[in-house]
Amino acid sequence: LLPGGRPLTDAAARGEVAAVWEVGALPDTPARDTAGIIAAAASGELDALVVGGVDPADLGLSDTRNALQRAFVVSLELRESAVTPFADVVLPVAAQAEKEGSYVNWEGRIRPFELALTTNQISDHRVLDMLAGELGHFLETGTKRQIHDQFEALGPWSGARGVPASAQAEAAPVVGDGLGDYVLATWPTLLDRGRMQDGEPFLAGTARRATAHLSPGSAERLGAGDGGAVTVTGPRGSVTVPVAVIEGMVDGVVWLPTNSEDVSVRSGLGSEAGHRVAVTPVTNPADLTKGGLG
């Protein structure tokens, strides 16, 4: 998608953006996604990476470490991160309190915020503008006003919205049979192993313990109801957690938190929402994992 929800495949949409950006034409083929960028850097096709606000563990891609080691890495950081050891250049950027800007919520409503602390840190959009300038490109993202001017010049998109069927992700998998073959559902919880809780053990300690959510039918079939436990196994590893029976869940689906203290779906299991995993009951309570992957 282009700015404002404009489909890349629509010639009129590309023309509008090209006019505002003052370029001859935009390519009509999609750029690399995250997995494509990592693969290209790992193979040497891309020589350099700019990384901002990404934890490699969240990607769940096997080539990430190799890509970071092989490429020239410029890392935009608030504080030391998992990318720091690989970075050739670390550029400090301003936290929210040190800049002004806005969020857009799920309803499309703009929620601005103002500068609260005056420091010598600069916003990430200005850093990107400076990097592009050194490479001979003028992004016009040096100030908040420049960015807003571009959106105002573009205006709302009145054409068809969304990604064409040919570019959409594969359809959701058929629900598992509930006899060991399950479809994984997952999303991050408010309190988890996220980096914003580093150094704050008391807040992190109030998080709920990870549980595997199952429908009453799935729990009965496995013989693992409330108070029992199951082992969930993906291509990279497994985790053993207590069971929570949830009314209304679909049979053959198991839910796990994405990145809790006890479960790491992407880096630990090597799985993602919609992937198939194996679920088996735990007969010995002593096998129950605590504080990490089993």
Residue 131 CA to residue 135 CA, distance in Å, equals 7
218 is written with which tokens?
């799935």
Domains of the chain are 3-154 (3.40.50.740), 181-287 (2.40.40.20)
In the predicted model, what is the mean pLDDT of the chain? 88
For 24, counting Cβ atoms within 10 Å of its Cβ (0-12 exposed, 13-18 middle, 19+ buried), the class is exposed
Q: 237-288, pLDDT tens digit by residue?
A: 999 999 999 999 999 999 999 999 889 898 889 898 999 999 999 977 565 6
Residue 222 CA to residue 217 CA, distance in Å, equals 9
Q: 64-120, pLDDT tens digit by residue?
A: 999 999 999 999 999 899 999 999 999 999 999 999 888 888 787 889 999 999 999
For 155, counting Cβ atoms within 10 Å of its Cβ (0-12 exposed, 13-18 middle, 19+ buried), the class is exposed
For 120, counting Cβ atoms within 10 Å of its Cβ (0-12 exposed, 13-18 middle, 19+ buried), the class is exposed
The pLDDT of residue 293: 39
Q: What percent of the chain has pLDDT over 70?
A: 92
Instruction: List CB contacts of 183: < 8 A, sequence separation 6 or more.
Output: 172, 173, 174, 175, 176, 252, 253, 254, 274, 275, 276, 277
| pLDDT confidence bin for 15, thresholds 50/70/90 | very high
Specify the DSSP class assigned to residue 247.
Answer: T
How many residues appear in the chain? 294
